[in-house]
Structure 1
Amino acid sequence: MLSTRAVGLSSPLRQAILGRALVRSPVALAKRSVQTESLPPSAAVDILNQQRLRRPSSPHFTIYQPQMTWIPSIFHRATGGALSALLYAFSLAYVVAPGTFDSAHVVEFVAGMPDAVKYAGKTLLAAPLLFHSFNGVRHLGWDMLKFMNVKGMYQTGYTVLAATAIGTVGLVLM
């Protein structure tokens, strides 16, 4: 009825236009009874858990084809987390036992390893570090609104992979 008042239709005019039955009960809702029961506050968690069990899960990995737009994003997060965990672990080890984890002892320990273990260790450190670094530069490019089309994203993705491979080989052979 707000619209008729806004237009300036008075009550007698509304009755004449809309009819007396609509004016008396503008919204005719069917009444229905709803039965409720009183539950303790702790029951809310149980009800929520039951609703979550009946909720379907997302099929994400099973229906989507892997793409250069989201695979590097997942690996960027994983390498960032792994490199951070490694840094924190080494830092805490140095704080707890500074005599064992100082540079001289670490160099001596690594020098005593077989060459295959050294190369594997270098690869396990260099590849995530370089990938995370190059992909971070890729993300900075996106922040500047560069390469924001599908072609640019694929080109920069393959460039990051190639630079990571070349850089890893270069660092391992040093």
Structure 2
Amino acid sequence: MMSTRVLGLGPALRKAVFSPRIVRNQIVLRNVAAKRGVQTQSLPPSASIEILNKQRLKRPSSPHFTIYQPQLTWLGSIANRMTGAALSVLLYGFSLAYLISPTNFSSAKVVEYVKQVPDSVKYAGKVILAAPFAFHSFNGLRHLGWDMGYFLSLKGAYRSGYAVLGATALGTVALVLM
């Protein structure tokens, strides 16, 4: 077991502990702490909402996106989320429908149904399916580029955004004409 004598700290510790200045400071701190009081009051639970509403009025409010001019970056982000959700709903919806009733949603039945539909409806349906798929795919590549550190400047973000829109248009046309 180590003692203060072995380390040579005995005199230093005695001086620090028994110094009159330390004793004086402790008395002053005790007096300050004794004089300082905290006042509390008991409030009914209904008063908490009133206090909260008063505090909310004093907080700064963040500007909502509706007051900003639309920008390509956040419009692309919103569209990416919407197309991803729509494509997921279609995929899971068809998958569940096939699991529930495989005879009605078999490939042969789907092909039979599509043969009966007029060409204008077929092309409209293809556009409705191809455009979100193309946009989500190309915008996903854009996000991968951002993850790797490319196109992070304002100019790069806009260039890649316009490239995604152009590739979406070309990809949609290519998918519809297949």
Task: Pick the TM interval, shorter chain.
Answer: 0.7 to 0.9
Paired position in structure 1 for 2:130: 126
Map of 1:31-42 to 2, 5 A cutoff?
Answer: 31=37, 33-37=39-43
Once residues 29 and 38 of structure 2 are traced to their aligned partners in structure 1, the CA distance between those partners, rounded to angstroms, is 23
Paired position in structure 2 for 1:82: 86
Paired position in structure 2 for 1:162: 166
Identity of aligned residues (%): 55
**Paired residue secondary structure (2:72):** coil
TM-score relative to the length of structure 2: 0.73
Instruction: Please report how far the alpha carbon of residue 64 of structure 1 lies from its aligned counterpart in structure 2 after TM superposition.
Output: 1.9
Paired position in structure 1 for 2:116: 112
| Higher relative helix content | 2
TM-score relative to the length of structure 1: 0.75
Once residues 23 and 73 of structure 1 are traced to their aligned partners in structure 2, the CA distance between those partners, rounded to angstroms, is 58
Paired position in structure 2 for 1:3: none
Paired position in structure 1 for 2:107: 103
Amino acid at match of 1:65: Q
Number of residue pairs aligned between Structure 1 and Structure 2: 159
Instruction: Please report how far the alpha carbon of residue 171 of structure 1 lies from its aligned counterpart in structure 2 after TM superposition.
Output: 1.5
Instruction: Please report how far the alpha carbon of residue 169 of structure 1 lies from its aligned counterpart in structure 2 after TM superposition.
Output: 1.4
Cα separation, partners in 2 of 1:113 and 1:144, compared to 1, 3 Å: same
The structure with the larger Rg is 2
What do the CA deviations read for 1:98-138 (whole angstroms, capped 9, x no partner)?
11111111111111111111111000100000000000011
Quote the RMSD (CA, aligned, Å).
3.2
Amino acid at match of 2:98: Y
Cα separation, partners in 2 of 1:147 and 1:114, compared to 1, 3 Å: same
